[in-house]
Amino acid sequence: MTEQPGRRLLLVHAHPDDESINNGATMARYAAEGARVTLVTCTLGERGEVIPPGLGHLTGAALGEYRLRELTAAMGELGVRDFRQLGGAGRYRDSGMMGIADNDDPDCFWQADVDEAAAHLVEVIREVRPQVLVTYDENGGYGHPDHIQTHRVALRAVELAAEAGVEIAKVYFNRVPRSLAVDAFGRLERDLPGLPFAKSAAVDDVPGVVDDERVTTRIDGTAYAAAKAAAMRAHATQITVAEPYFVLSNELAQPLFTTEYYELVRGEQAGAEETDLFAGTEETR
């Protein structure tokens, strides 16, 4: 392992399992290289749809508690020791999918005051002092209210932390280049008859798909493919894995990407295509 004690990466996600799907290989790689990897999850996913019939009785707070245990197991697979819930476990509840009555719950994350929620994240930023933060774009990747709110809270926290004298050098959004997604779904269609999944999702079902030119950064996590798959399997209420594919509760197969892609939205880009989220940052040793 190459020791890199000055590298500090903060990821901000909406629910347990989002981190493993979007960034599992990246997290495993940087943790193995000695960086401090910190995950903040904004809700416990209390309104998630449960896949295994034997766990179908789990709802609400009981499901949230179970998903926190799944998250703990997933972080063990990725080698990440620092993972937290925004404002403490259960502070903000899952809001459910956009347009349902659950969005109006005053305790749900969608209804949270952005500055108040961001203040909780600023506490983490001031402690960890990350050079790099990763989160979603303004649509939350695919329009889920908790993902959109996570974007708002994360970027507001970056602003508030800067006002307090803690600058984050680089901010990235999770991305998937469209050409890669098209190729991967082409392989999936050919492989589908031999898989335990009946139907395929579509390219635009994948959060964060954008035209290739918007992608600034590629993190090769192929050496950590097994760790990412294991972390995703740990979220068994939400994900079924059959490498190199997986399904969510909609039972539509998707590719499991082990090279992960990002768009730099704040900070200086280091070269035409970055292969390191920390490229160009100063490492505090």
In degrees, rounded to 5, the angle at the alpha carbon of residue 121 between the alpha carbons of residues 118 and 126 is 120
CA–chain centroid gap for 211, Å, is 20
Distance CA 254, CA 252 (A): 7
pTM (2 d.p.):
0.96
Distance CA 37, CA 24 (A): 11
Structure tokens at 275: 């292969």
Q: Mean pLDDT of successive 10-residue segments in the chain (285 residues)? A: 68 98 98 98 97 96 98 98 96 96 96 98 98 98 97 98 97 98 98 97 97 98 98 98 97 98 97 95 60
Please say whether the beta carbons of 206 and 139 come within 8 A. Answer: no
Q: CA 110, 111, 114, 117: dihedral to nearest 10 degrees?
A: -90
Token pair 């031999």: residue: 194
Please enumerate, by residue number, every residue annotated as part of a binding site.
15, 18, 147
Please enumerate, by residue number, every residue annotated as part of a binding site for Zn(2+).
15, 18, 147
For residue 214, what are the contacts with CB-CB under 8 A and spacing of at least 6? Answer: 175, 263
pLDDT reported for residue 27: 98
Please say whether the beta carbons of 185 and 255 come within 8 A. Answer: yes
Look at residues 68, 35, 67, 86 and name the one whose alpha carbon lies nearest to residue 219: 35
> What amino acid occupies position 49?
E
Fold annotation for 8-266: Rossmann fold (3.40.50)
Bridge partners of 82, per DSSP, are: 38
Distance CA 159, CA 237 (A): 35
Domain ranges of the chain: 8-266
pLDDT reported for residue 4: 40
Please say whether the beta carbons of 175 and 214 come within 8 A. Answer: yes
pLDDT reported for residue 282: 76
